[in-house]
Amino acid sequence: MRIINNINEMHRLSVESRKQGMILGLVPTMGYLHAGHMALVTAARKCSEVVVVSNFVNPMQFGPNEDYSKYPRDMERDNSMCGEAGVDVVFCPSAESMYSPDTSVSVNEDRLSKVLCGASRPGHFRGVLTVVAKLFNIVQPDVAVFGQKDAQQVRVISRMVRDLDIPVRIVVHPIVREPDGLAMSSRNTYLSVSERKQACGIYKALQAAADAFKAGQRSGPYLVDCVRNVLAATGLVCIDYVSLVDDATLEPVTRVCDRAVLLAVAVRVGKTRLIDNVVLSPCA
Protein backbone atom coordinates (compact mmCIF):
# COMPACT_ATOMS: atom_id res chain seq x y z
CA MET A 1 0.00 0.00 0.00
CA ARG A 2 1.29 3.44 -0.94
CA ILE A 3 0.68 6.46 1.27
CA ILE A 4 0.75 9.67 -0.75
CA ASN A 5 0.68 13.18 0.68
CA ASN A 6 1.66 15.10 -2.43
CA ILE A 7 -1.01 16.14 -4.92
CA ASN A 8 1.31 15.93 -7.94
CA GLU A 9 2.47 12.43 -6.95
CA MET A 10 -1.14 11.28 -6.62
CA HIS A 11 -1.97 12.75 -9.99
CA ARG A 12 1.02 11.07 -11.64
CA LEU A 13 0.05 7.67 -10.21
CA SER A 14 -3.49 8.10 -11.50
CA VAL A 15 -2.29 9.04 -14.98
CA GLU A 16 0.09 6.06 -15.08
CA SER A 17 -2.65 3.67 -13.93
CA ARG A 18 -5.06 4.93 -16.56
CA LYS A 19 -2.40 4.57 -19.27
CA GLN A 20 -2.13 0.92 -18.27
CA GLY A 21 -5.88 0.55 -18.72
CA MET A 22 -6.60 0.09 -15.02
CA ILE A 23 -9.93 1.10 -13.53
CA LEU A 24 -9.52 3.45 -10.56
CA GLY A 25 -11.95 3.44 -7.65
CA LEU A 26 -12.01 6.27 -5.10
CA VAL A 27 -13.44 6.15 -1.58
CA PRO A 28 -13.43 9.73 -0.22
CA THR A 29 -13.28 9.88 3.59
CA MET A 30 -12.48 12.25 6.42
CA GLY A 31 -10.62 9.53 8.26
CA TYR A 32 -11.22 7.96 11.66
CA LEU A 33 -12.29 4.92 9.69
CA HIS A 34 -14.76 2.26 10.78
CA ALA A 35 -16.46 -0.82 9.35
CA GLY A 36 -18.76 1.36 7.26
CA HIS A 37 -15.80 2.83 5.41
CA MET A 38 -14.34 -0.64 4.93
CA ALA A 39 -17.62 -1.72 3.31
CA LEU A 40 -17.14 1.12 0.81
CA VAL A 41 -13.61 -0.15 0.14
CA THR A 42 -14.98 -3.63 -0.52
CA ALA A 43 -17.54 -2.17 -2.92
CA ALA A 44 -14.82 -0.20 -4.71
CA ARG A 45 -12.67 -3.32 -5.04
CA LYS A 46 -15.51 -5.14 -6.81
CA CYS A 47 -15.61 -2.60 -9.63
CA SER A 48 -12.03 -1.33 -9.88
CA GLU A 49 -8.44 -2.56 -10.06
CA VAL A 50 -6.80 0.26 -8.11
CA VAL A 51 -8.54 1.39 -4.92
CA VAL A 52 -7.68 4.82 -3.56
CA VAL A 53 -8.91 6.00 -0.16
CA SER A 54 -8.62 9.72 0.42
CA ASN A 55 -8.18 10.71 4.06
CA PHE A 56 -8.74 14.44 4.46
CA VAL A 57 -10.68 16.37 7.09
CA ASN A 58 -11.98 19.14 4.87
CA PRO A 59 -12.06 22.48 6.69
CA MET A 60 -14.22 24.06 4.00
CA GLN A 61 -17.31 22.03 4.89
CA PHE A 62 -17.30 22.93 8.59
CA GLY A 63 -19.15 25.99 9.87
CA PRO A 64 -17.53 28.47 12.29
CA ASN A 65 -19.17 26.84 15.32
CA GLU A 66 -18.77 23.22 14.21
CA ASP A 67 -16.30 20.55 15.23
CA TYR A 68 -13.42 20.85 12.73
CA SER A 69 -10.72 21.19 15.37
CA LYS A 70 -12.21 18.38 17.47
CA TYR A 71 -13.08 16.02 14.64
CA PRO A 72 -11.56 12.60 15.52
CA ARG A 73 -8.28 11.79 13.80
CA ASP A 74 -6.02 8.74 13.96
CA MET A 75 -3.99 8.41 10.77
CA GLU A 76 -1.88 5.50 12.00
CA ARG A 77 -4.97 3.45 12.83
CA ASP A 78 -6.62 4.45 9.54
CA ASN A 79 -3.60 3.36 7.51
CA SER A 80 -3.51 0.03 9.32
CA MET A 81 -7.17 -0.61 8.54
CA CYS A 82 -6.64 0.32 4.89
CA GLY A 83 -3.67 -2.01 4.66
CA GLU A 84 -5.65 -4.90 6.09
CA ALA A 85 -8.49 -4.17 3.66
CA GLY A 86 -6.20 -4.31 0.65
CA VAL A 87 -6.33 -0.63 -0.27
CA ASP A 88 -3.74 0.24 -2.93
CA VAL A 89 -3.27 3.93 -2.17
CA VAL A 90 -4.10 6.21 0.74
CA PHE A 91 -4.12 9.85 -0.33
CA CYS A 92 -3.80 12.16 2.66
CA PRO A 93 -2.97 15.72 1.59
CA SER A 94 -2.61 18.63 3.98
CA ALA A 95 -5.15 21.44 4.13
CA GLU A 96 -2.41 23.84 3.05
CA SER A 97 -1.75 21.88 -0.12
CA MET A 98 -5.45 21.53 -0.94
CA TYR A 99 -6.33 25.18 -0.40
CA SER A 100 -4.08 28.10 -1.28
CA PRO A 101 -4.22 31.07 1.13
CA ASP A 102 -5.94 33.13 -1.57
CA THR A 103 -8.35 30.41 -2.75
CA SER A 104 -11.32 32.12 -4.39
CA VAL A 105 -13.02 29.43 -6.49
CA SER A 106 -15.62 27.02 -5.14
CA VAL A 107 -18.44 24.80 -6.41
CA ASN A 108 -22.06 25.55 -5.57
CA GLU A 109 -25.29 23.67 -6.16
CA ASP A 110 -28.44 25.75 -5.98
CA ARG A 111 -31.30 23.31 -5.51
CA LEU A 112 -30.71 19.98 -3.79
CA SER A 113 -28.30 21.53 -1.28
CA LYS A 114 -30.74 24.10 0.09
CA VAL A 115 -32.94 21.71 2.11
CA LEU A 116 -32.39 19.19 4.92
CA CYS A 117 -28.81 19.56 6.21
CA GLY A 118 -28.18 22.44 3.84
CA ALA A 119 -30.86 24.54 5.51
CA SER A 120 -29.19 24.40 8.92
CA ARG A 121 -25.56 24.18 7.75
CA PRO A 122 -25.09 27.05 5.27
CA GLY A 123 -21.98 26.64 3.19
CA HIS A 124 -21.58 22.97 4.09
CA PHE A 125 -22.33 21.56 0.66
CA ARG A 126 -20.25 24.24 -1.06
CA GLY A 127 -17.33 22.83 0.93
CA VAL A 128 -18.29 19.23 0.13
CA LEU A 129 -18.63 19.82 -3.60
CA THR A 130 -15.45 21.84 -3.81
CA VAL A 131 -13.30 19.20 -2.13
CA VAL A 132 -14.94 16.32 -4.02
CA ALA A 133 -14.41 18.15 -7.33
CA LYS A 134 -10.75 18.62 -6.38
CA LEU A 135 -10.39 14.94 -5.46
CA PHE A 136 -11.97 13.92 -8.75
CA ASN A 137 -9.50 16.15 -10.63
CA ILE A 138 -6.49 14.87 -8.67
CA VAL A 139 -7.29 11.15 -8.53
CA GLN A 140 -9.25 10.96 -11.80
CA PRO A 141 -11.26 7.92 -10.69
CA ASP A 142 -13.51 5.93 -12.96
CA VAL A 143 -15.71 5.06 -9.97
CA ALA A 144 -16.33 6.82 -6.65
CA VAL A 145 -18.11 5.07 -3.77
CA PHE A 146 -20.18 6.92 -1.17
CA GLY A 147 -22.41 5.78 1.67
CA GLN A 148 -26.19 6.12 1.72
CA LYS A 149 -26.06 7.48 5.29
CA ASP A 150 -25.09 10.83 3.78
CA ALA A 151 -28.05 10.64 1.41
CA GLN A 152 -28.25 14.34 0.57
CA GLN A 153 -24.51 14.50 0.00
CA VAL A 154 -24.70 11.64 -2.50
CA ARG A 155 -27.49 13.32 -4.43
CA VAL A 156 -25.76 16.69 -4.49
CA ILE A 157 -22.50 15.12 -5.69
CA SER A 158 -24.36 13.12 -8.34
CA ARG A 159 -25.96 16.35 -9.57
CA MET A 160 -22.53 18.02 -9.80
CA VAL A 161 -21.19 15.06 -11.78
CA ARG A 162 -24.15 15.23 -14.14
CA ASP A 163 -24.24 18.98 -14.63
CA LEU A 164 -20.47 19.45 -14.99
CA ASP A 165 -19.97 16.34 -17.16
CA ILE A 166 -17.42 14.80 -14.80
CA PRO A 167 -16.50 11.33 -16.14
CA VAL A 168 -16.94 9.33 -12.95
CA ARG A 169 -19.54 6.74 -12.00
CA ILE A 170 -21.07 7.23 -8.56
CA VAL A 171 -21.76 4.05 -6.57
CA VAL A 172 -23.95 4.30 -3.47
CA HIS A 173 -23.49 1.70 -0.74
CA PRO A 174 -26.29 0.89 1.75
CA ILE A 175 -26.00 2.20 5.30
CA VAL A 176 -23.80 0.04 7.53
CA ARG A 177 -25.22 -0.23 11.05
CA GLU A 178 -24.12 -1.33 14.47
CA PRO A 179 -25.88 -4.46 15.83
CA ASP A 180 -28.38 -2.22 17.66
CA GLY A 181 -29.22 -0.31 14.46
CA LEU A 182 -27.24 2.89 14.97
CA ALA A 183 -25.77 4.06 11.67
CA MET A 184 -21.97 3.89 11.77
CA SER A 185 -20.36 7.32 11.94
CA SER A 186 -17.03 8.71 13.04
CA ARG A 187 -18.97 11.14 15.22
CA ASN A 188 -20.41 8.25 17.28
CA THR A 189 -17.17 8.39 19.24
CA TYR A 190 -18.39 11.66 20.79
CA LEU A 191 -21.29 9.89 22.52
CA SER A 192 -21.24 9.01 26.20
CA VAL A 193 -22.50 5.58 27.26
CA SER A 194 -25.97 6.94 28.04
CA GLU A 195 -26.07 9.03 24.84
CA ARG A 196 -24.98 6.03 22.79
CA LYS A 197 -27.91 4.04 24.17
CA GLN A 198 -30.30 6.90 23.50
CA ALA A 199 -29.05 7.31 19.93
CA CYS A 200 -30.49 3.89 19.07
CA GLY A 201 -33.88 5.60 19.12
CA ILE A 202 -33.12 7.22 15.77
CA TYR A 203 -33.22 3.98 13.83
CA LYS A 204 -36.13 2.70 15.92
CA ALA A 205 -38.09 5.79 14.89
CA LEU A 206 -37.28 5.30 11.21
CA GLN A 207 -38.17 1.62 11.43
CA ALA A 208 -41.52 2.43 13.04
CA ALA A 209 -42.35 4.65 10.07
CA ALA A 210 -41.06 2.03 7.62
CA ASP A 211 -43.32 -0.56 9.27
CA ALA A 212 -46.29 1.78 8.93
CA PHE A 213 -45.40 2.28 5.26
CA LYS A 214 -45.22 -1.47 4.69
CA ALA A 215 -48.63 -1.77 6.30
CA GLY A 216 -50.05 0.60 3.68
CA GLN A 217 -49.64 4.06 5.20
CA ARG A 218 -48.91 6.65 2.49
CA SER A 219 -49.54 9.94 4.28
CA GLY A 220 -46.41 12.07 4.55
CA PRO A 221 -47.47 13.90 7.73
CA TYR A 222 -48.39 10.59 9.38
CA LEU A 223 -45.00 9.05 8.61
CA VAL A 224 -43.16 12.14 9.83
CA ASP A 225 -45.23 12.23 13.03
CA CYS A 226 -44.53 8.54 13.55
CA VAL A 227 -40.80 9.27 13.59
CA ARG A 228 -41.19 12.31 15.84
CA ASN A 229 -43.31 10.40 18.35
CA VAL A 230 -40.77 7.59 18.72
CA LEU A 231 -37.91 10.09 19.01
CA ALA A 232 -39.80 11.92 21.75
CA ALA A 233 -40.54 8.67 23.56
CA THR A 234 -36.83 7.91 23.70
CA GLY A 235 -35.92 11.40 24.89
CA LEU A 236 -34.57 12.64 21.56
CA VAL A 237 -36.23 16.03 21.49
CA CYS A 238 -33.48 18.20 20.00
CA ILE A 239 -34.55 17.63 16.39
CA ASP A 240 -33.02 19.50 13.47
CA TYR A 241 -35.44 17.98 11.00
CA VAL A 242 -37.63 14.99 10.20
CA SER A 243 -38.47 15.23 6.51
CA LEU A 244 -40.14 13.13 3.86
CA VAL A 245 -38.85 14.13 0.43
CA ASP A 246 -38.71 12.77 -3.10
CA ASP A 247 -35.71 10.45 -3.28
CA ALA A 248 -34.41 12.06 -6.48
CA THR A 249 -35.38 15.73 -6.25
CA LEU A 250 -35.45 16.13 -2.42
CA GLU A 251 -38.67 18.10 -2.77
CA PRO A 252 -41.19 17.71 0.09
CA VAL A 253 -43.75 14.93 -0.26
CA THR A 254 -47.16 14.99 1.42
CA ARG A 255 -48.29 11.66 0.04
CA VAL A 256 -46.30 8.74 -1.32
CA CYS A 257 -47.57 7.77 -4.76
CA ASP A 258 -45.49 6.01 -7.41
CA ARG A 259 -41.99 7.31 -6.64
CA ALA A 260 -39.49 6.37 -3.97
CA VAL A 261 -39.16 8.78 -1.08
CA LEU A 262 -36.43 9.52 1.43
CA LEU A 263 -37.37 9.73 5.11
CA ALA A 264 -34.47 11.64 6.64
CA VAL A 265 -33.66 12.65 10.21
CA ALA A 266 -31.11 14.91 11.88
CA VAL A 267 -31.06 15.10 15.68
CA ARG A 268 -28.69 16.16 18.41
CA VAL A 269 -27.80 13.61 21.04
CA GLY A 270 -26.09 15.68 23.68
CA LYS A 271 -23.82 17.94 21.64
CA THR A 272 -23.47 15.47 18.79
CA ARG A 273 -25.44 15.92 15.56
CA LEU A 274 -26.39 12.59 13.97
CA ILE A 275 -28.18 11.88 10.71
CA ASP A 276 -29.94 8.80 9.38
CA ASN A 277 -32.49 7.86 6.74
CA VAL A 278 -34.51 5.15 5.07
CA VAL A 279 -35.76 4.96 1.50
CA LEU A 280 -39.41 3.98 1.13
CA SER A 281 -40.38 2.63 -2.26
CA PRO A 282 -44.00 1.87 -3.24
CA CYS A 283 -42.66 -0.55 -5.86
CA ALA A 284 -40.57 -2.60 -3.44
| Cα distance between residue 244 and residue 282, in whole Å | 14
Is the sign of the CA dihedral 278, 281, 282, 284 positive or negative? negative
| Cα distance between residue 262 and residue 264, in whole Å | 6
| Cα distance between residue 53 and residue 27, in whole Å | 5
| Cα distance between residue 211 and residue 217, in whole Å | 9
Of 11, 34, 37, 173, the catalytic one is 37
CB 45 within 8 A of CB 86: yes
The candidate with the shortest Cα–Cα distance to 26, out of 51, 63, 59, is: 51
Q: Is 124 a catalytic residue?
A: no
The candidate with the shortest Cα–Cα distance to 201, out of 241, 174, 228, 240, is: 228
Q: Which residues are catalytic?
A: 37
